[in-house]
Structure 1
Amino acid sequence: MDVLSDVIMVARTGRPRSAHVRWHAPWQQQFASVPGSAGFQVILEGSCWLLSSQAAALQLGVGDVLFLPHGRGHTLADHPVPATTAPVCAPDDSEQSVPSAPDSVDRLGQGGPATVVLCGAYELDPSRTHPLLLTLPDLIHLPADRNRHPELHAAVQLLAAEVGNPRLGTSAIVPALLDTLLMYILRIWLAEQPTRGSTTGWAAALNDPAVTTALHAVHRNPAAPWTVTKLAAEAGLSRAAFARRFSALIGQPPLGYLTWWRMTMAARLLLTTQVPLRSIASQVGYTSEFAFANAFKRTHGLAPGAYRRRRRTDPQGQ
């Protein structure tokens, strides 16, 4: 696995959700803030406006993609100043902004021009959120540009076709396409960030060949007996130069990140498998179950066995 592929894999809980929603003007849709989630909106037909109390209204057209990595609440509407007669559609608690299964929903309106939006959401475990996600802004807007982002356009079209017209296999195809769409969104955003002169941040780190090589080595084989010297050799730098560059870009030293990643992988294995503790310890680089348990407790505040029991009983428990 590479770093970007792992970002969502470790933090996601359950299955991603999606819906194909149609509104008829005049309309406005409020999406509540949902902490511990990431959501996106793709305009498939017509146009609308993104309304926020923190910024000017933003017009959206066909092919535009919105990504909200921190589940920030927002409103979509057919006009930058919605008519007083426009019904306000606020999702109930069971929907949490997006229906729980691929669906096509026709919202009530007053028969005006239609806007069709592809909505999606991921539930994330805050305790396993990769620091790359934490550095993302509240809102990422990728304007439609088939020539610049043909792969993103292709993923949107495939996903819209499956959600809008479910067939045999749709339940298996949609989660894979949602993952694909999300990876393209992150890849494009990271590639478009200005990194010249930047000394910190994940966009700069993933555009730095030496640091990226070391990160990929850790993610491919977290159980290896890594040292700063060995990671520096992977990166093609001296030990001191590598440690300085890694710490400056990532915000923590190489072995600090290695330990965090190992404990994050261990937490995921504890919650998603029945693998014995000694096997998990080995998979994340510990020859001693006792040493693993101590490291895990320092990171998560609970011994591995207690963490597994508590989090399975109460998924929101820390």
Structure 2
Amino acid sequence: MDLLYDHLVRARATGAVFARTVAEPPWGLRLGGSIQLAVHTVVRGRGWLWLDTPGSAVELSPGTVTLVRGGPDHCIGHEPGADCLEPEEFRARHARPGPGDNPQATVFLCGAYQFSGEVGSGLLDALPQVMTLSAAIDDPLRDVVTLLSRELVRTEPAQQIVLDRLLDLLLVLAIRSDFRRSATAPRWYRASADPRLGAALQAMHENAAHPWTVPELAAISGLSRAAFARAFRAALGQAPMQYLTEWRMTLARDHLRAGDLSLAQIADAVGYGSPFAFAAAFRRHHGDPPGAWRQRERADADTRTLATHPDP
């Protein structure tokens, strides 16, 4: 297991929507900021993507993949500033099952990804608001886009499974490419490639319940305690035990939100000897005991749901 894999699995990323569209100019589509991560790629022709801020337009062309984090709405169209329709109206106006005969038409793919919990939010926060990646001829990204386009041309058995897996590949390749070249990639990602720290980080992520100590982690890394502590703080900006506590609390918050485990089971899963020890640590970290924190989060989630989907 590597740390990026661990974050993606814990985030439980799922492909919610994917569509292939043929649009003849003039055209424009507005997509809401509630989409946690949107994926766009042009198969044929050209398009533009922009936010509601000046100078934000980026060109979409074959061989590139653009990811947009949730938050502000974003638009794609035949030219920057084009009049944009909401998705339902857009689909009704540009419903074409075939490839389209107009050489001016743009063929593009749109996907929407949903992440779960604190780990997913942290992964998204590490990405820029808009990220465009260019795929070279021998880049796997280009192969995935080609396969997606072919799969969306016609309806086949088990098609949704194929689309979800291809979208998984597209997302992982895009995130991996960005993190590899970005100076703002998460510290845990950069540190995981450090031969002095990678094994210790992996051990903490694989088994957060283990009663780790700095000497034990240093031994895994093949360093003295002092050398390991210095290298860890320099790379991650915090002491090893502080990082471990933060990771345990992140996992605990996800379990509390999901409601999949009792407090005793959460305590055991994140390395505390009893529910009382876990509750005390959680309260020190968050100001509230875990039960009260979970009730407040559920109430906030219900409020957000009502705001997004009010009764007719």
User: Structure 1 residues 242, 131: closer, same or farther in 2, change over 3 A?
Assistant: farther
**Aligned equivalent of 2:106:** 115
**Aligned equivalent of 2:62:** 62
State the Cα distance separating 1:81 from its structure 2 match: 6.3
**What fraction of aligned residue pairs are identical, expressed as a percent?**
38
The question of whether the paired residues in 2 share the 8 Å contact of 1:2 and 1:220 is answered with no
Distance in 1, matches of 2:262 and 2:56, equals 53
Question: Could you list the per-position Cα deviations for residues 108-152 of structure 1 after superposition, in whole angstroms to 9, with x for gaps in the alignment?
Answer: xxx7722122212233457444645423322211012131x22x2
The question of whether the paired residues in 2 share the 8 Å contact of 1:20 and 1:117 is answered with yes
The question of whether the paired residues in 2 share the 8 Å contact of 1:23 and 1:115 is answered with yes
Distance in 2, matches of 1:47 and 1:190, equals 27
SS for the counterpart of 1:208 is coil
**Aligned equivalent of 1:281:** 267
State the Cα distance separating 1:312 from its structure 2 match: 4.7
Distance in 2, matches of 1:58 and 1:13, equals 26
User: Pairwise CA RMSD of aligned residues?
Assistant: 3.5
The within-5 A match list for 1:44-123 is 44-52=43-51, 53-55=53-55, 57-80=57-80, 82=82, 87-91=83-87, 106=95, 113-123=104-114
User: Structure 1 residues 306, 57: closer, same or farther in 2, change over 3 A?
Assistant: closer
The question of whether the paired residues in 1 share the 8 Å contact of 2:41 and 2:61 is answered with no
Question: Could you list the per-position Cα deviations for residues 7-39 of structure 1 after superposition, in whole angstroms to 9, with x for gaps in the alignment?
Answer: 2333457763322233211222233333x7122
**Aligned equivalent of 1:209:** 195
Distance in 1, matches of 2:284 and 2:21, equals 45
Query: Moved runs in structure 1, 4+ residues, more than 6 A?
Result: none
Distance in 2, matches of 1:166 and 1:265, equals 39
Distance in 1, matches of 2:289 and 2:172, equals 33
Matched, 1:154 2:143: yes
Distance in 2, matches of 1:207 and 1:283, equals 26
Query: How many corresponding residue pairs?
Result: 297
User: Structure 1 residues 302, 239: closer, same or farther in 2, change over 3 A?
Assistant: same
SS for the counterpart of 1:146 is coil
State the Cα distance separating 1:54 from its structure 2 match: 4.5
**Aligned equivalent of 1:37:** 36
The equivalent position to 1:138 in structure 2, one of 120, 129, 139, is 129
Distance in 2, matches of 1:57 and 1:242, equals 45
Question: Could you list the per-position Cα deviations for residues 170-218 of structure 1 after superposition, in whole angstroms to 9, with x for gaps in the alignment?
Answer: 33343333333211111111222369xx9x9455324322233222111
Q: Which runs of 5+ in 1 are unaligned?
A: 100-104
**Aligned equivalent of 2:163:** 174
State the Cα distance separating 1:78 from its structure 2 match: 1.5
Distance in 2, matches of 1:235 and 1:206, equals 12
- Amino acid in the other structure paired with 2:282: F
SS for the counterpart of 1:7 is helix
Question: Could you list the per-position Cα deviations for residues 259-318 of structure 1 after superposition, in whole angstroms to 9, with x for gaps in the alignment?
Answer: 122222223333445433222211211121111122233445543334445545653679
**Aligned equivalent of 2:310:** none
SS for the counterpart of 1:210 is coil
More helix by share: 2
User: Structure 1 residues 4, 171: closer, same or farther in 2, change over 3 A?
Assistant: same
State the Cα distance separating 1:70 from its structure 2 match: 4.3
State the Cα distance separating 1:65 from its structure 2 match: 0.4
Normalised to the residue count of structure 2, the TM-score between the two structures is: 0.78
Distance in 2, matches of 1:215 and 1:140, equals 27
Matched, 1:218 2:210: no
The question of whether the paired residues in 1 share the 8 Å contact of 2:31 and 2:87 is answered with yes
SS for the counterpart of 1:88 is coil
- Amino acid in the other structure paired with 1:289: P
